[in-house]
Structure 1
Amino acid sequence: MSLQSNGKVAIIRTERGLTISGTRITLYDVMDYLTAEYPPKFIRGLFNLTEEQINAALTYIKANRTEVEAEYQIVVKEAEELRQYYEQRNRDLIARLAKKPPLPGREAAWEKLQAQKAKHQAQFESQRQRSAYFIQKHRLRY
């Protein structure tokens, strides 16, 4: 099933799944943010969608809720399985690399890199907290 808007097919099925026509954005991408209760306006801006595109996606999701939700759960499950697989596969390698000392003559660069990592982590945490506040303050239902 596809949704038409202004005579154009707005939602299509590709090898990636249900996709907003003219983009690489799947309805599952949109569902991630809807599930986290982000407002449609935020999702629209995040994915650089037109008003027509986000409305088509939301309309399709509402009209086919059971089908979309079932496919979304499959996508989420497969993504989690892949994440766990690669996390397990790379765990030993990452641990070995983390224990390695910096190469001789590169100690200063290594220290600078560690300082940058700490700075970025602090900025990320601050941004995450601001985002959580924004979501809580501007929570809208679709």
Structure 2
Amino acid sequence: MDEAQTLTPSGSTTMCTRSTLMLVSQARKYGLGLIFATQAPKGLHNQIPGNAATQVFGLLNAPVHIEAAREMAHFKGGDVPDISRLTSGEFYVAVEGQPFRKIRTPLCLTHHPASPLSTDEVMARSWQTTVGIS
């Protein structure tokens, strides 16, 4: 859910806040994974990151959001000291029970191909993944 702070804001209630928070609290026991994206972590209801097993932070610039990210990292036993200076492909990631660590990935959210893959290319890649070829 992109711009998640508009669906489940920290300070007010929208039409979908209650149902989204219920989904967040129940989804994991049914094997459902959810992705919430926001550029404003301070504006996101605290139950969203509180129920997240995996958290990923990218570049943040606003001091209030940097402080919110550092606070969340502190609760996981770590820090994200240079979150305002991350470059393309750099992220902080925390998995359940672990503090945040910096990773670098060349083809993540920052990679935008010139055109979508053709059906044949999608099929070829899915076959390669299935048989373990990279």
Q: Which category of TM-score, normalised to the shorter sequence, fits these structures?
A: under 0.3
* TM-score w.r.t. length of structure 2: 0.21
Greater Cα radius of gyration, structure 1 or 2: 1
* TM-score w.r.t. length of structure 1: 0.20
